[in-house]
A and B are shown apart, each in its own frame.
Chain A
Amino acid sequence: MDETVAEYIRRTVLKIPRDEIKTMLQKWGFLSETQLQTVNFHQIKENISQDVVQLCEENSADIKQAAVLDIIYNHIYPNKRVWSVYQMNKTGEETEFFDLTEFKKKFKRRLRSALKNVTINFREYEDNAIWIRIAWGTPYTKPNQYKTSYVVYHSQTPYVFISASVLKSNLPLLCQALVVASNYRDIREMELRSHSLNSLKDIVFKRYSQNFQTYNPRPLQERNVAPESADLRIIQENRNEKERIQRVNQKVFGDGPQPKIEFAQYKLETMFKSDPKMDVLDKKEPFRCLVKFSSPHLLESLKSLAPAGMADAPLSPLLTCIPQKARNYFKIREKKGFFPGSFVSP
């Protein structure tokens, strides 16, 4: 077994939390149950990884099999990477059949015709997600297994989720291969980025709970049924306002959990509106400014602003349109026309 492969497997195993190592190796399926029984998974990770490498040596693992372990790790812990969403366009209206084997063949052929030194692995999952792992090399060097890009694609959808590596120069090549393999015409990057891959999927596939008005008989949800008879001396003075805020919030955000994104960035190129007497700026130039909101869970925190009394309800549509517009990076320019104001560039 190649030394680089051994080292790669060792480092991959070290990344896995100790309690998960056994299950992940079982999912990998490269080592047999009897082999796994011989490893003591309670020792320190250093030793576990050495034992695993030893077993892989017995089975003569190659880089392709090691790459599968890497895919499994990244599929279980996708939130360690930052994912961007790309949208593809097509002209024709033919019915899509999406043959998986054709897709894989076309992708590999396109990529390899431009760059021979790449390691490409595919893995399909139950939810029709196709995971592609690409390790990049150069025309003169072997693929660097530590500089990988990940692509997640659901068949017959125009969206691709890419977690690029440091080598941004390979991105156009990757995009081209995707377009060719999936029978689309072109591809562009959307202004939507997050660590949570599932939340990005929720946003573009519209899987998050939007509040639709229907007559469907649904069980009425009990909300805020605080025991009224707790202490009769406490009176809610602004109960009406509280209920109004709840209603507005529910209308805007829906009932279910919000997709998880960590940032919203607004690049302002608007004019600074000051008192003419103050004359802050001599030249009438847009005042460039960047406003960035960050949070472990931005949309949930926005949802709780009004009920917590920290902001007025309803919130600015610039904040609440994030899931519907499927973007969290905005450019706001001055609207040239009859009404002053700002408009969001597409």
Chain B
Amino acid sequence: GVFTHLEVLEVRAREAAVKQEETEQQEEKLARLKARVQELRLQRDELQAKVDLQQKGQLGKEGVVSNPAQPTARAVIEWKIKSIEAMLQVFYLTGISGKLTKQGVCFCISTAYEGTYLDSYYLDLLTKPEVQIYRHSVPIFIPLQQIAKKYLQTDIRRFLSVLSDHLNAYVGRRYQADQLQEHFSGQIEGTLQRNSLCNLLVFNYNTSSESKTFPFKVRLLYGDLCCSLPTEVTVSCTPDAPASLAETAAAHSDLFRRVALHKAFRSLRGPEESMD
């Protein structure tokens, strides 16, 4: 009846008001804390300045011979070690680093995907009589021999660059598939079919963990081994699904082609949750 309807509206209005109050309180609290942070920073700077002044003053008082411009030998060595370690860390972070060995050179290709550092792979190369691979730790399903045949003798920089692309793309695809299985297993129906190179994924999924009525089937083909996004996406619905889902399937297909898999799923789930 009308009264029940009014009651429902009343309840909703009350809930909305409560929520609004809560958000306002949060904002106030945040503003207060920010102001506090500023205060403390100011204090810290003042104290730091005082300390510096005191230290300088003390030295002046004692008249110590150790001139701050001439640090001790030990300090020099420590500084040198630190800067070398930092330099090596920088080289490592570029993704390709190497070290000369007795018979040639040993390269290390470090991979990462969107800010997460992943595995490192090594290549021990001989340089005489010609450049050849002595041993390596590259996974067997990466076409190392093919890439070596093309570039190793002629252009070693290109060889490393192409190999690094393959490896980074592989770990990127693997990372996406792993993230999908770890964080979105509720939305996947059945098993996620994958392969060693993670360049073909086939699985059924729902857009939310609750409504499991019309699962979609998706086939992701990563045609370019140097790319961590698929080249071919096929999303299909079950034959008895309503026609409107066909549009959703097309939208999903477009999404998977542009966005990383786990991020795509996050965005698929996102709007559902705020619809409550």
Contact = CB atoms under 8 A, between A and B. Distances in A.
A95 B195 contact: no
Contacts of A159: 140
B89 interface: yes
B164 interface: no
B99 A213 contact: yes
B196 A157 contact: yes
Interface string A313-334: 0000000000010000000000
Interface string B18-55: 00000000000000000000000000000000000000
B200 A213 contact: no
B88 interface: yes
B99 A215 contact: yes
Given A128-B196, A215-B99, A217-B88, A157 B106 contact: no
Interface residues of B, number: 34
A155 interface: yes
B195 A158 contact: no
A93 B141 CA distance: 13
Contact of B99 (A155, A204, A207, A214): A214
A159 B140 CA distance: 9
B108 A95 contact: no
A97 interface: yes
Contacts of A205: 139-140
Nearest to B89: A217
Interface string B188-210: 00010111110110100000000
A206 B200 contact: no
A206 B136 contact: yes
Contacts, number: 84
Nearest to A206: B137
B91 interface: yes
Contact of A156 (B85, B92, B122, B195): B195
| Range, interface on chain A | 20 to 34
Nearest to B124: A212
B106 A214 contact: yes
B124 A96 contact: no
Interface in B206-250: 221, 223, 225
B97 interface: yes
B140 A158 contact: yes
B120 interface: yes
A98 interface: yes
Contacts of B140: 157-159, 204-206
A166 B202 CA distance: 37
A335 B191 CA distance: 55
18 contacts: A98-B195, A101-B193, A124-B193, A154-B196, A155-B141, A155-B195, A155-B197, A157-B140, A206-B137, A206-B139, A213-B99, A213-B101, A214-B99, A214-B106, A214-B108, A216-B88, A216-B92, A217-B89
Interface of B: 85, 88-89, 91-92, 97, 99, 101, 106, 108, 120, 122, 124, 135-141, 143, 146, 191, 193-197, 199-200, 202, 221, 223, 225
Interface of A: 93, 95-101, 124, 128, 154-159, 204-207, 210, 212-217, 324
Given A98-B200, A206-B139, A324-B135, 12 more contacts: A96-B199, A97-B195, A99-B200, A99-B202, A100-B193, A100-B202, A154-B196, A156-B141, A156-B196, A156-B197, A215-B88, A217-B89
